[in-house]
Structure 1
Amino acid sequence: TIAAVILGIIIGVALRSLKCSTDDRIDGCRITKEDIIHIDFPGQIFVNILKMLILPLIVSSIISSLAQLDAQSAGKMGVRAIIYYLATTLIAAIVGIILVLTIRPGLRVGTVQIKPDSKAAEGRTVDTVLDLFRNLFPDNIMEAAFRSFATDLKVNRTLIAGPNGTSYNKTIYKATVVKRDNINVLGLLLFCIVFGILISRLKQKAIILKHFFEAMLEVVMQLVRIAMLYSPIGIFFLIVAKILDMDDLRDFLGSLGLYMATVLVGLFIHGFIILPLILFIITRINSFKYIRGMSQALVTAFGTASSSATLPVTFRCVEEKNHIDPRISRFVLPVGATVNMDGTALYEAVAAIYIAQLRGIPLDAVKIIVTSLTATLASIGAASIPQAGLVTMVIVLNALGLPAEDVRIIYAVDWLLDRFRTAINVFGDSIGCAVVQHLSRKELNAPVNQETTTAVTNINDPDTVRRMLLSANTEYDTGTPNGTVIYPPNNLLSTTHDNPAFTNSSEINNDDQANNIYKTNF
């Protein structure tokens, strides 16, 4: 997959000399806009496959993981995950602010020309916050699978009547709540979290539901493994098509080059210095091995520019290569893909101050603090889809008193920075899994559910003991009081000796082992 990215960049740059400036093949050019669409086709197929798996993956992973934990343990893990998300996102925003104030990219370049055909993001802070809460509580959970709430601002009037028969121009927008074709991830997350916790509380009454979602998750993960066979091809064509679709490289790197460098340096510092340092200090895990285990997910994030689309690959990397407990990853990753946006927070902080520098607006300490906090909160509200940070960027600009139209200044380079910050977002989610797992060892090592633990006391009949010890998927835990037999539910907890949930356990395979345990402990 890494080779596909490198090869895609090389071939994309090489083919730019054959790109046509118009839709016709004139002056010896060979590649038109239509050809670029055709080149992008295999990559779009790959992205569609990943997006197809998002919904079943989120639903099955969260419900199955929380169904294995009691409500108290799930609550503690959730609090730890949220604290980690907020802390790292705020740190990322602060790193971006320090860099942009030190490098001052907006004071070292001339005026940036705003293209009239660029897309400006329109929006208001209050509308974004209200949309966030509307999506948390969808009115139809089935509809939430393909639609979400959004505030649509429409021009109501531009000519305002003034005193004495005068008039003046002022654009007034009318806010209308609409539903757009997009997965309501926040609503699904909240529903699945509550649903999974209630399955855990109902215990045996909901055991069929629990097994259903566990089986569903296994099937989805098998589909992910199949999809990954196609990833090098898909990512290669995505990169080639995007490079061919770029505007003039000299203009691209000229006016906004220093701004891009500031963002990229910040992302590098946060992703490869701060996050690995947090990982090592808290867990003592080798950061280099962990990064290597996440390489496929990071490359996929770069190619797709979507945390949600990368989610299936992220699951596979953290569980199979970095050996994170599935009960942690299946809960932390879907939530993190929605609310943990370290790279986005850093980018928004840098971009807002960069635009202020271009306009010659001085920033005092209060405005800088407001920028860091606003960038943190705005990144949480950013959907995990390509270039969503450009929309929430309006919130940060409003906090600094800058017009929303200024987003167009950085629009030309956002597509590239979006890919780098998405990779950092995904990496931050994976680090969160390791941190939460380390801090939740006590909850993970506890018996999963009360109904899965059977106390055997004062039994003198060896045949009865042997029958219980030889039951399917049973283990005797020598660390518990005499006569306690633990039944791991549905093979989810492995019967191997290195399973962290049964560090003191012995696997029971035959009558001789059962007799030895009985003689020793009963």
Structure 2
Amino acid sequence: MKKLALHWKILIGLFLGVIWAVLSSFLGWSKFTIDWIAPFGTIFINLLKLIAVPLVLFSIIEGISGLSNVGKIGRMGAKTLFFYLATTVTAVGVGLFVVNTAQPGSFVDEEQRIDNRIEYELWASNNDNVEILDGTCLTCDDAMKDRVAAVAARGASAPANEDIAAKMSSARATKGQGPLQFIVDMVPSNIFLSLNNNSLMLQVIFFAIFFGITIITLPRDTTKPLRKFITSINEVFLKMVHLVMNAAPFFVFALLAGTVSRMAGDDPSKVVEIFKALSSYSIVLVIGLAFMVFAFYPLVMRFFIKGMTYVKFFKSLSPAQLLAFSTSSSVATLPVTMECVEENLKVPEETASFVLPIGATVNMDGTSLYQAVAVVFLAQFHMVDLTFSQQLVIVLTATLASIGSAAVPSAGLIMMILVLESVGLNPAWIGIIFPVDRILDMCRTVVNVTGDATVATLVANSEGELVAGDKTSESLATDNELTTIEHN
């Protein structure tokens, strides 16, 4: 087991966790799994989050304070935002392409879709600000009178879903904010409160950048003790990442076992339903996400990065990707992502510590793709034909919503409510895809993390840092060979 690479150990932990959850469901041990195994998965996520915030803080400060001028920060910032925006728009475009091509919503029984369409028209008629998008009106047909009444009665008696209601409430609060609220939220009023809340990572990043820039403006002799302290404490947190990752396979086993056991309980049939429900939607979404991970990012890296191969790309990032799949959180995975990018892809620490934390909070390629696929699928499911212009609105809204999407599990559901409302669709429809969201969230987090690592490498390459790193390595190797020859 010791000879296995870390990513293989994590992968084994993933499979064993799922197998254990299935067995415990068959044997009626789900409560034991939830009470005695799942807590270790929670501990794992808490440990990663514990390390993530201070690591981001001190890594950014160390990276920026090591720069020779403020101009480089502005240049790197502009490149970072450009690359993140480009990958996000690409992800949304891929999502719209696969969902329009496969039409997963049309696989549902036609009678069910007619009832869904009637529900949509009834909802639209009860909301003054909503117009039926495609001009069709089944509720206006006298032949549908009895069916409309039955659908209306069934909808009135349906119990409320508290989880969905809570997410809709959060989305309404976000929607009611002003256009510059995103910028306002970036500036903390109390950095200690921001450090205590992972959802306020942008505030931590803002403070770190501000602090680092301030250090640059002061004489280097004055700030030398401070910079040495920041470097030392950053090394401590990096060592903490190594220590936690040594136990990652066991923690991942507990995390997956607990997640599946909570969804399935002691009913084995539910385990099957978890992986079968909404299969057409899930398959289409996974195809889109897989294209980003296995085709788009590797091809971009191979085209721009000299010496990059398909195998090297995945070998370098697999620990972070597998961990992202386990935790469903870009922030929780951030310490490992930084380690993979710096040690395996040879991105300088000052660049990785600047680009990756920003990406973990504003770059959500997988979330954007998921929102595009989900919204069009739900429209198809309700027999609503979205025009090209309406789908362009989805592209814009999904791109902007992804910027404000928190890097925590299932945060994309809240942002998708805004996307649904932007094209005049019922936000309560998220309840349809809610049962499979947790599993798909694990997949799209892999895309988010892979996109972050890709952009960090591209930024470093555009700054000429990867080439310089290679030359330095070659030069050191040559010097060592000469020293050995002379010594002999």
Structure 1 and Structure 2 fold alike (TM over 0.5): yes
- TM class by shorter chain equals 0.7 to 0.9
3-state SS in 1 of match to 2:472: coil
**2 CA distance for matches of 1:256 and 1:270?**
22
Aligned with 2:183 (options 98, 112, 133):
133
Cα offset for 1:316?
1.4
Q: How does 1:22-101 map to 2 (within 5 A)?
A: 29-32=28-31, 35-69=33-67, 70-101=69-100
Preserved contact between residue 54 and residue 309 of structure 1 (Cα < 8 Å): yes
**2 CA distance for matches of 1:231 and 1:309?**
12
Instruction: Letter of the 1:187 partner, please give it.
Output: Q
The reply on whether 1:399 has 2:422 as its aligned counterpart is: yes
What is the Cα-based RMSD across aligned positions, in Å? 2.7
Q: In the alignment, which residue of structure 2 is the partner of 1:184?
A: 200
Preserved contact between residue 115 and residue 408 of structure 1 (Cα < 8 Å): no
Cα offset for 1:46?
1.0
**1 CA distance for matches of 2:423 and 2:274?**
26
Aligned with 1:336 (options 347, 355, 359):
359
Instruction: Letter of the 1:184 partner, please give it.
Output: L
**1 CA distance for matches of 2:240 and 2:389?**
50
Alpha-carbon distance change, 392 to 293 in structure 1, aligned in 2, over 3 angstroms: same
Q: Which has the higher helix share?
A: 2
Q: In the alignment, which residue of structure 1 is the partner of 2:472?
A: 498
TM-score by structure 1 length?
A: 0.74
Aligned with 2:231 (options 211, 214, 226):
214
**2 CA distance for matches of 1:199 and 1:444?**
28
**1 CA distance for matches of 2:245 and 2:16?**
18
**1 CA distance for matches of 2:356 and 2:373?**
26
**1 CA distance for matches of 2:371 and 2:47?**
30
Instruction: Letter of the 2:34 partner, please give it.
Output: I
Preserved contact between residue 320 and residue 340 of structure 2 (Cα < 8 Å): yes
Cα offset for 1:131?
5.0
Percent identical among aligned pairs is 34
Preserved contact between residue 461 and residue 467 of structure 2 (Cα < 8 Å): no
Q: How does 1:388-427 map to 2 (within 5 A)?
A: 388-427=411-450
3-state SS in 2 of match to 1:498: helix
Cα offset for 1:130?
5.7
Q: How does 1:297-446 map to 2 (within 5 A)?
A: 297-441=320-464
Cα offset for 1:35?
4.4
Cα offset for 1:384?
0.5
The reply on whether 1:4 has 2:13 as its aligned counterpart is: yes
Cα offset for 1:504?
13
Preserved contact between residue 362 and residue 405 of structure 2 (Cα < 8 Å): yes
Aligned with 2:284 (options 254, 258, 262):
262
Alpha-carbon distance change, 417 to 130 in structure 1, aligned in 2, over 3 angstroms: farther
Preserved contact between residue 145 and residue 183 of structure 1 (Cα < 8 Å): no
Instruction: Letter of the 1:107 partner, please give it.
Output: S
Q: In the alignment, which residue of structure 1 is the partner of 2:256?
A: 239
Cα offset for 1:62?
0.6
Q: Deviations over 1:316-359 (max 9, x none)?
A: 11112222211111111111111111100000111111111112
**2 CA distance for matches of 1:264 and 1:504?**
44
Alpha-carbon distance change, 229 to 374 in structure 1, aligned in 2, over 3 angstroms: same
**2 CA distance for matches of 1:253 and 1:309?**
25
Q: In the alignment, which residue of structure 2 is the partner of 1:146?
A: 196
Aligned residues: 415
3-state SS in 1 of match to 2:391: helix
Alpha-carbon distance change, 343 to 443 in structure 1, aligned in 2, over 3 angstroms: closer
Point out the more displaced range, 302-311 or 127-136. Answer: 127-136
**2 CA distance for matches of 1:337 and 1:95?**
21
**2 CA distance for matches of 1:327 and 1:444?**
16
**2 CA distance for matches of 1:443 and 1:115?**
57
Preserved contact between residue 64 and residue 196 of structure 1 (Cα < 8 Å): yes
The reply on whether 1:272 has 2:297 as its aligned counterpart is: no
**2 CA distance for matches of 1:279 and 1:206?**
37
Preserved contact between residue 22 and residue 271 of structure 2 (Cα < 8 Å): no
Preserved contact between residue 73 and residue 443 of structure 1 (Cα < 8 Å): no
Preserved contact between residue 118 and residue 411 of structure 1 (Cα < 8 Å): no
Cα offset for 1:107?
1.6
Q: In the alignment, which residue of structure 1 is the partner of 2:314?
A: 291
**2 CA distance for matches of 1:220 and 1:317?**
15
The reply on whether 1:223 has 2:252 as its aligned counterpart is: no
Q: Deviations over 1:354-396 (max 9, x none)?
A: 1111122111111011111111111111011111111111111
Cα offset for 1:127?
3.3
Alpha-carbon distance change, 270 to 118 in structure 1, aligned in 2, over 3 angstroms: farther
TM-score by structure 2 length?
A: 0.79
The reply on whether 1:196 has 2:212 as its aligned counterpart is: yes
Q: Which has the higher strand share?
A: 1
Instruction: Letter of the 1:143 partner, please give it.
Output: L
Cα offset for 1:444?
9.3
Alpha-carbon distance change, 54 to 365 in structure 1, aligned in 2, over 3 angstroms: same
